[in-house]
């Protein structure tokens, strides 16, 4: 049995000004936090950043383009970090038992997927 509360979205709606037009976007709280950090790092406002994304997004919606921008921004930082540390070859990053990825992946999983949610994956199989 599902209640109406089960269908509540985790997305947050916020207003942004793109160019001279006010619009709203619905993003996950983590995406909003990331967008704020990127804007702060780059020394611009979220509105300015969203305007730049909008100018380059092509036929893709602004919300989708913003998510791709955020992921691409952080992917670039990871690649830059790997190059600076000489970790560009496969197998040079320390691995974790049971996870074919770096320790950063484990930290992200632990942050995004609370441990109480781990039982769901085993029930699918």
What value does the mean pLDDT of the chain take? 77
- Spell out the residues 6+ positions from residue 16 whose beta carbon is closer than 8 angstroms to its own: 22, 23, 24, 25, 46, 47, 50
Q: Are 43 and 57 in contact (CB under 8 A)?
A: no
pLDDT per residue as tens digits for the range 89-112: 555 455 545 555 556 666 666 666
Write down the residue that tokens 């969203």 correspond to.
50
Q: Are 50 and 18 in contact (CB under 8 A)?
A: yes
Q: Which of 118, 80, 84, 87 is nearest to 102 (CA)?
A: 87
Model-level pTM? 0.68
The one-digit pLDDT tens for each residue of the chain (125 residues) are 444 444 456 999 999 999 999 999 999 999 999 999 999 999 999 999 999 999 999 899 999 999 999 999 998 888 887 777 776 655 545 554 555 555 666 666 666 655 555 554 444 44
- Spell out the residues 6+ positions from residue 27 whose beta carbon is closer than 8 angstroms to its own: 11, 12, 14, 35, 63, 66, 67
């Amino acid at each position: 049995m599902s209640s109406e509360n089960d269908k509540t979205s985790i997305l947050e709606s916020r207003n942004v000004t793109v160019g001279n037009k006010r619009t709203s976007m619905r993003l996950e709280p983590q995406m909003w936090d990331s967008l704020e950090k990127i804007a702060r790092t780059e020394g611009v406002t979220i509105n300015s950043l969203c305007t730049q994304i909008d100018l380059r997004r092509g036929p893709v919606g602004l919300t989708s383009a913003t998510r791709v921008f955020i992921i691409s921004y952080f992917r670039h930082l990871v690649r830059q970090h790997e190059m600076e540390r000489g970790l560009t070859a496969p197998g040079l990053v320390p691995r974790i038992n049971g996870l074919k990825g770096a320790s950063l992946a484990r930290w992200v999983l632990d942050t995004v997927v609370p441990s109480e949610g781990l039982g769901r994956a085993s029930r699918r199989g």
